[in-house]
Structure 1
């Protein structure tokens, strides 16, 4: 029993309209689900993904009226967005510059070329050359040509002050594999432990930076709420049983309607989610109309009128 890779990453925005503009117009991603936070229906939950809303391709945002994140350890520090080839990275370097987005020079990190940048709220992102590995599902209505579009997520980079407990949780509880280590070439170099899931590769990697000297991060806009890992629908119950047998303090089974979830906080303080591939975002709207109107799971439909009144237009 193992995780199959990154399922999604959920971050925080305090500007839903600007967030929507950046991820759809600048990055060319598809808004595949416009819904609300099921635990706080005053907030949008926006999902951006590839053309087919494939598991592993979506970065999502809660829209909360909060100040900016104070950066530090105990947090996800950068989200990889996969593209294919050095030419794609050169295209993106030019596109980001044209859009007024500051980016770092293309450089090699852990044997792959990548381009680091931030969204307007300081969300740390990286375009990573995945070598064309795996399938791609371009969106026909994207402002970005199909060959250059973002193919999915990964790797995800996080920061912990002490590797030992987070490492044990990743390997002994989450069944990740230690793959390799590398040292960054930052102004203050740090050691990074890489973990693999499933078939490996950037879509199935978690990178842990070891930074004992940093203060803990404080949540806010531009920060990450949680990272989710993929499991086949048929294996979800086994993961619930596993967490129960280990007596972990978890959420227990949660049905998000579009997928089923199971949440647990790892020892470094970062929230992990296990999420199923199905049923999928076309559970309540046609695939060619995804994200065009407000979607609500059945248990929230009776509240639709009041929920819609409380949301700002995108």
Structure 2
């Protein structure tokens, strides 16, 4: 079955154990906009927070499930080991390095990865993040930082860059990326953490950092144990529901177990695991986050899809109050 190429990264979803500190870090330290405060639709007792550009354009969302009792994560293989965030220029990284120093954010030095200037850092729970400069980037366009952000727009985060997968067996994951999802192998570069290993670059659609997966094989590490500070899954972009249904049919034809199309209200989704166990999602570009809130007030109140509205009282009683109108 022939399908259109995936358009790039749609969103990345991670785990936090502290919604308030998470909100403070991603909006005030990183300057992203909270565009939706909603629930994990598979567990309504848990917040699902979406941070993005000014309106949550596809490819800009870094999201978090708030699981207060989440244990410590133990990094390893068969996991998403780094999420990159795009900034406009190499000069932006100098701004961010100084800002991280002011805010006490743990960070590395600026260095080159795959021909781009980058700055790796960790959030307060050890979430592994990398700022990547768009100065020499071509391909999928970035978003537009919110003009009310505490970070100046000329340095602001424009969306998601490449995700890094670390696996115990390279070939099965590479085969799913290329033969199932239609990615192209583009090149490789030395691992910044272990120079004896290469990281291989796969791209889809228009290419560029917003449409890349970086894949590393490590047989010397144990499997990762997920917890606070780890990534739950990565989602890739498809145009609409019709296209997503075609992907569901293709996976069925290939006998790849999957959820089929799932209604998420702000987009439609489909989930499956690649052979090393990493959870992949395909998600539609629309309808987006303004279906139930105006642009000016995105993320300020608890938003529930219509099919959860009759449970609002019970859901609000389970959730710890989180004031997302306040400024820190």
TM (normalized to structure 2)? 0.94
8 Å Cα contact 2:200-2:215 kept in structure 1: yes
User: C-alpha displacement at 1:200, in angstroms?
Assistant: 0.4
Q: Which residue, 3, 26, 30 being the options, matches 2:6? A: 3
- Output the CA distance in 2 between the equivalents of 1:206 and 1:147: 26
2:128 counterpart of 1:121: no
> Aligned ranges for residues 295-314 of structure 1 at < 5 Å?
295-314=303-322
- Output the CA distance in 2 between the equivalents of 1:269 and 1:191: 21
2:174 counterpart of 1:167: yes
User: C-alpha displacement at 1:189, in angstroms?
Assistant: 3.4
Q: Which residue, 68, 71, 74 being the options, matches 2:75? A: 71
- Output the CA distance in 2 between the equivalents of 1:188 and 1:214: 15
- Output the CA distance in 1 between the equivalents of 2:187 and 2:168: 19
User: C-alpha displacement at 1:171, in angstroms?
Assistant: 0.7
Partner of 2:326: none
Q: Which residue, 294, 298, 303 being the options, matches 2:302? A: 294
Any unmatched runs of 5+ in structure 2? Answer: 323-328
User: C-alpha displacement at 1:187, in angstroms?
Assistant: 4.4
Partner of 1:145: 152
- Output the CA distance in 2 between the equivalents of 1:191 and 1:29: 32
User: C-alpha displacement at 1:69, in angstroms?
Assistant: 0.7
2:94 counterpart of 1:90: yes
User: C-alpha displacement at 1:188, in angstroms?
Assistant: 5.2
- Output the CA distance in 1 between the equivalents of 2:112 and 2:147: 31
User: C-alpha displacement at 1:182, in angstroms?
Assistant: 1.8
User: C-alpha displacement at 1:135, in angstroms?
Assistant: 4.6
User: C-alpha displacement at 1:186, in angstroms?
Assistant: 2.5
TM (normalized to structure 1)? 0.98
- Output the CA distance in 2 between the equivalents of 1:187 and 1:264: 30
- Output the CA distance in 1 between the equivalents of 2:149 and 2:258: 38
Partner of 2:325: none
Partner SS state of residue 21, structure 2 = helix
8 Å Cα contact 2:95-2:155 kept in structure 1: yes
Q: Deviations over 1:46-68 (max 9, x none)?
A: 00000121100010000112111
Change (3 A) 1:279 1:136: closer
- Output the CA distance in 2 between the equivalents of 1:121 and 1:190: 27
8 Å Cα contact 2:185-2:201 kept in structure 1: yes
Partner SS state of residue 207, structure 2 = coil
Partner of 1:243: 251
Q: CA RMSD in A?
A: 1.1
Runs of 4+ residues deviating >6 angstroms: none
Any unmatched runs of 5+ in structure 1? Answer: none
Q: Which residue, 52, 59, 74 being the options, matches 1:49? A: 52
Partner of 2:187: 180
Partner SS state of residue 186, structure 2 = strand
Partner of 1:22: 25
Q: Deviations over 1:293-314 (max 9, x none)?
A: 0000111100001111111122
8 Å Cα contact 2:164-2:216 kept in structure 1: yes
8 Å Cα contact 1:17-1:313 kept in structure 2: no
- Once the two structures are overlaid, the 10-residue window that deviates more, 94-103 or 181-190, is 181-190
Q: Which residue, 131, 155, 161 being the options, matches 1:154? A: 161
User: C-alpha displacement at 1:118, in angstroms?
Assistant: 0.3
User: C-alpha displacement at 1:266, in angstroms?
Assistant: 0.4
8 Å Cα contact 1:66-1:221 kept in structure 2: yes
Partner SS state of residue 246, structure 2 = helix
- Output the CA distance in 1 between the equivalents of 2:206 and 2:260: 27
